[in-house]
Structure 1
Amino acid sequence: MDLKEKEFNVFVAIIPFIVMIFAMLIAVIVLKVDPHIPLVIGTATASIVALTAGYKWKEIEEFMYKGIKLALPAIIIILLVGLVIGSWIGGGVVASMIYYGLLIINPTYFLVTILIICGIVSLATGSSWSTMATIGVAGMGIGMSMGISPAITAGAVISGSYFGDKMSPLSDTTNLASGLTHTDLFDHIKHMMWTTIPGLIISLIAFFFIGFNVIDTKTFDTNSVNTMLVTMQDNFVISPWLLLVPVLVVVFILFKMPAAPALFMGAVMGFLCHFFVQGGAFSSAVDTLTNGFELTSGNEAVDKLFTRGGLMDMMYTVSMTIVAMTFAGIMEYSGMLKSIMEQILKIAKGTFGLITSTLFSALFVNATCSEQYISIVVPSRMYLRSFVEKNLDTRNLSRSLEDGGTLTSVFIPWNTCGVYIFGTLGVAAWEYGPYAILNFSVPIIAMILAATGIGIKKISDEEKENLLTEIYGTDKNPNAANATL
């Protein structure tokens, strides 16, 4: 199917997005209901616009199927995370992580500590999702035990996890951004330091002061923490040996085992701990994998902390992902998104305009297509030639794609990253958004650097011609970019 035959006026192409956002604002802010139906409304609107452009319903269905297919790897990981959380709670793994964390971590420095730990683990594994599903889950429990707002703790976990993911040579988004822009992987990582390291420093300073404000060590209620410790001991077998389970999962990923089998092995180990270490019935351990773990200790705070997980606990997240990707599929494959992006490209003037347009285009794709990978792929197709022709090294584009695509995905509630975080950490995007400090500070820093010229890598005219030949061959047609990427 040749999608180039369908051209949309930009004002027509943007209608589905406007309708969806308007419906989302009414549903979430006014009616305070879930965002699924606004996404359905957006999908219906996009379908109508596509039909009026001449597409047949069979073709529109195919667009939706393609969109869902893009999200299938994410859906598999989401389901596996449900298994991991349920089995680790039932197996006492999460209880042990929280128990020893409460004994070791100073409440005042907890937020800085959890940010650094998540950053190190994510940097080593290349996966923000795996880090949040392991270290992040435990960190949320420790934060709740200390009386820290879940939104603040989630912000620290997300900031650390996405720092490591963004800067790791093992990260899929890092490899994707460098590969699509024909940039050396390690040149790409080095160039990202200009924006990401200042963002990390800002985050550490901010969480250092937040930690002092949210917890006063002089008035900190140690009795409530001690009560939680006792309650956990009464209901779980607490052992440092159980900490080997998350350690082994991290080791598996370090040795380049894909995330899905690594998480599955983690779920298996948690299941065995539930049965052999905690002494749970075999049927109970199996049921926990499906329906999650339920604790009735009489301590409301502890019960809330340990009653979750399982496949069914992730169905909200999975359903939102599927609905969001039907909308994304129509916007992407019908050509509506392309029409919008081309208009953005026309107004990009100079280095600042080009980099800023790339950042906002990636954010826009995150909102319309609900998937961070597309937010890297689509702008890379649209902007690569423009960067090179303006004598800008491709590493400026690869960095901008990650600054605007990878990091901003967490702010969109219906993006696969936003729904994953909600399912894993239990906090919605509009709650943790103000505290995901690294994720919003880095794009701002990127625009400042673009305006000042600091950290912008230029190329000579000779290098430009060589690079254009390397990427596009002898074809001088700007549309060749889409055929080669």
Structure 2
Amino acid sequence: MKKGNPWALIPFVVFLILFIGSGVITGDFYAFPVIVAIIIAGAVALAMNRKETFARKVDIFCQGAGNLNVMLMVVIFLLAGAFSGVTKGMGAVDSTVNFALSFVPQNLLVMGLFVIACFISLAMGTSVGTIVALAPIGVGISEHTDLSMALVMAAIIGGSMFGDNLSFISDTTITAVRSQGVRMKDKFKVNFWIVLPAAIVTSIILGIITMGETAQVEHVSYSWIKILPYILVIVFALAGMNVFLVLASGIVLAGAVGLVDGSYHVMDLFQKMGEGMAGMYEIAFLAILIAGMVEVIKYNGGIDYLLYLSTRRIKSKKGAEFSIAGLVGITDLSTANNTISILITGPLAKNIADQYGIERRKTASILDIFSCAIQGLLPYGGQILAAASVAGISPVSILQYSFYPVLIVVCGIIAILIGYPKKNNA
């Protein structure tokens, strides 16, 4: 294996210094815009390697940025944003939350909130959006009982990470799948059976430690028709339909429901689609810019060096899988963003997987599971910060009840050790 060039990794170092350094100095890890940090790091990459002309380096950058998988990822991001915007605007989120709450037994509220968060995040494809929708309800439940506010918030965060890790319209899932060139339904099947035990054990733990606590939840109304677009997307995706058709069908149905029930006029509908897409612009441009920067780093020998460094002590396929898990986990610790961590480590993981014969669906699952696990445990991550802000508590206080993120790490490790899935399993 080529040893590569460690100096080619300087752009990565610049990015981490800007992103983490600004967070340490200001106390806000989102103070320095991540897209600006990437642009500066990309500029550093283009300034390196004097053997090549600047025009040639720009060509290399653009070839990476315009990679087929990257462009497909960007279009999927935009469609997912449009679907999210249209469904939210016509009241699908509220209906889904109210539907779930109406079925929760009053003596299992915290466990119920966890399960509800799992379902809603799976449907919506966003962990932060799920937290924003459910956290106020969790605050109300905590205030009317002796239940710890931190415990309630941890249950909601755990459930939100379930869907973030599995949803067909989650940016982390889209990124993991596209970076490894695997079908969404194949990754979902592998990923789901790895994390399901963690979700079950989490539910049991929450049920046991809150046994006897009850609170009265007011009667809430919901509309089945508003929930249908989410159900349609999940069913079509599991059936193996092309992701573009899945999202397009969801947008059309959600738009039709909104027009029929008066939630939208025609121009309102298009405006919501545009707003939803606009919400994905940053992650779309990040995908493009990171891919371009990585291509230049790869050309200069940086990826070869990372491969050499991360695989020199690997003696088996299991060792390679643990290496991928460690890489994406460390990257997420550094960036506090699981999607960005997958964008950065995805190409490297693919190279390791090809070298050691790891199935792509397993690699995509490892990337998604371990990045989401770390993200759900970061007190400076967006998910915990959002919940802590709504609840008015310290982000650190939530960590002691963060059962689900810890358990999916355990389940991920077990899956690697036992060699799941076997090659003949779908």
TM over 0.5: yes
Residue 159 in 1 paired to residue 162 in 2? yes
Matches of 2:20 and 2:294, distance apart in 1: 19
Deviation at 1:196, TM superposition (A): 4.8
Selected match of 1:247 from 203, 216, 231: 231
Is contact 2:70-2:287 (8 Å) kept? Answer: yes
Give the equivalent residue in structure 2 for 1:22: 17
Residue 110 in 1 paired to residue 102 in 2? no
Q: Rate the CA distance shift 1:439–1:60 in 2: closer, same or farther, 3 A.
A: farther
What's the CA shift string for 1:270-297, capped at 9, x where partnerless? 2222222125433223222223xxxxxx
What's the CA shift string for 1:102-133, capped at 9, x where partnerless? 32234322243236647xxxxxxxxx9x7443
Show the 5 A alignment for 1:398-477.
399=362, 401-402=363-364, 404-410=366-372, 441-443=407-409, 455=418
Is contact 2:125-2:164 (8 Å) kept? Answer: no
Selected match of 1:133 from 103, 122, 125: 125
Residue 287 in 1 paired to residue 285 in 2? no
What's the CA shift string for 1:188-214, capped at 9, x where partnerless? 959x96x6565445544565578x49x
Is contact 1:328-1:369 (8 Å) kept? Answer: no
Matches of 1:449 and 1:93, distance apart in 2: 35
Q: Rate the CA distance shift 1:371–1:154 in 2: closer, same or farther, 3 A.
A: farther
Give the equivalent residue in structure 2 for 1:469: none
What's the CA shift string for 1:28-71, capped at 9, x where partnerless? 3433312222222222222233x24x233233223332333342
Show the 5 A alignment for 1:197-212.
199-201=198-200, 203-205=202-204, 208=207, 212=210
Pick which of 155-164 and 67-76 moved more: 155-164
Selected match of 2:253 from 265, 269, 276: 269
Q: Rate the CA distance shift 1:29–1:35 in 2: closer, same or farther, 3 A.
A: farther
Matches of 2:270 and 2:112, distance apart in 1: 34
What's the CA shift string for 1:198-235, capped at 9, x where partnerless? 5445544565578x49x9634x7x4xx66xx5xxx7xx
Deviation at 1:364, TM superposition (A): 6.3
Residue 381 in 1 paired to residue 381 in 2? no
What's the CA shift string for 1:240-261, capped at 9, x where partnerless? 2322222222232233222222
Matches of 1:255 and 1:350, distance apart in 2: 34
Q: Which amino acid aligns with 1:16?
A: P
Deviation at 1:157, TM superposition (A): 2.5
What's the CA shift string for 1:441-462, capped at 9, x where partnerless? 5455665788xxx6369xxxxx
Matches of 1:73 and 1:117, distance apart in 2: 27
Give the equivalent residue in structure 2 for 1:307: none
Deviation at 1:323, TM superposition (A): 3.2
Matches of 1:82 and 1:175, distance apart in 2: 17
Is contact 1:289-1:311 (8 Å) kept? Answer: yes
Q: Which amino acid aligns with 1:108?
A: V
Deviation at 1:76, TM superposition (A): 1.6
Give the equivalent residue in structure 1 for 2:424: none
Q: Which amino acid aligns with 2:21?
A: I
What's the CA shift string for 1:70-91, capped at 9, x where partnerless? 4222222221222222222332
SS at match of 1:347: coil
Give the equivalent residue in structure 2 for 1:339: 305
Q: Which amino acid aligns with 1:248?
A: L
Q: Rate the CA distance shift 1:152–1:20 in 2: closer, same or farther, 3 A.
A: farther
**TM-score computed with the length of structure 2 as normaliser:** 0.68
Q: Rate the CA distance shift 1:449–1:256 in 2: closer, same or farther, 3 A.
A: closer
Selected match of 2:56 from 56, 59, 80: 59
Matches of 1:247 and 1:369, distance apart in 2: 27
Bigger-Rg structure (1/2): 1
Deviation at 1:350, TM superposition (A): 6.8
Q: Rate the CA distance shift 1:47–1:364 in 2: closer, same or farther, 3 A.
A: farther
Q: Rate the CA distance shift 1:163–1:252 in 2: closer, same or farther, 3 A.
A: closer
Deviation at 1:335, TM superposition (A): 2.9
Could you tell me which runs of 5 or more consecutive residues in structure 2 were left unpaired when the two chains were aligned: 140-148, 333-339, 389-394, 421-426
Matches of 1:257 and 1:278, distance apart in 2: 30
Matches of 1:134 and 1:20, distance apart in 2: 25
Larger relative contact order (C-alpha < 8 A, sep ≥ 6)? 2
SS at match of 2:41: helix
Q: Rate the CA distance shift 1:371–1:257 in 2: closer, same or farther, 3 A.
A: farther
Deviation at 1:379, TM superposition (A): 1.3
Is contact 2:180-2:346 (8 Å) kept? Answer: no
Is contact 2:131-2:386 (8 Å) kept? Answer: no
Is contact 2:176-2:367 (8 Å) kept? Answer: no
Could you tell me which runs of 5 or more consecutive residues in structure 1 were left unpaired when the two chains were aligned: 119-127, 292-309, 385-393, 458-485
Tell me how large the CA RMSD over aligned residues is. 4.8
SS at match of 1:105: coil
What's the CA shift string for 1:378-403, capped at 9, x where partnerless? 2113434xxxxxxxxx67x975x356
Show the 5 A alignment for 1:36-55.
36-49=35-48, 51-52=49-50, 54-55=51-52
Is contact 2:198-2:404 (8 Å) kept? Answer: yes
Matches of 1:83 and 1:59, distance apart in 2: 36
Residue 315 in 1 paired to residue 281 in 2? yes
Show the 5 A alignment for 1:216-235.
217-218=214-215, 222=217
What's the CA shift string for 1:2-26, capped at 9, x where partnerless? xx9x97433x133222221111112
Is contact 1:403-1:442 (8 Å) kept? Answer: no
Q: Rate the CA distance shift 1:448–1:26 in 2: closer, same or farther, 3 A.
A: same
Q: Which amino acid aligns with 2:225?
A: W
Q: Which amino acid aligns with 2:136?
A: M
Is contact 2:57-2:296 (8 Å) kept? Answer: yes
Matches of 1:427 and 1:80, distance apart in 2: 27
Q: Which amino acid aligns with 2:368?
A: T
Deviation at 1:178, TM superposition (A): 11
Matches of 1:368 and 1:46, distance apart in 2: 19
Q: Rate the CA distance shift 1:58–1:142 in 2: closer, same or farther, 3 A.
A: same
Pick which of 262-271 and 349-358 moved more: 349-358
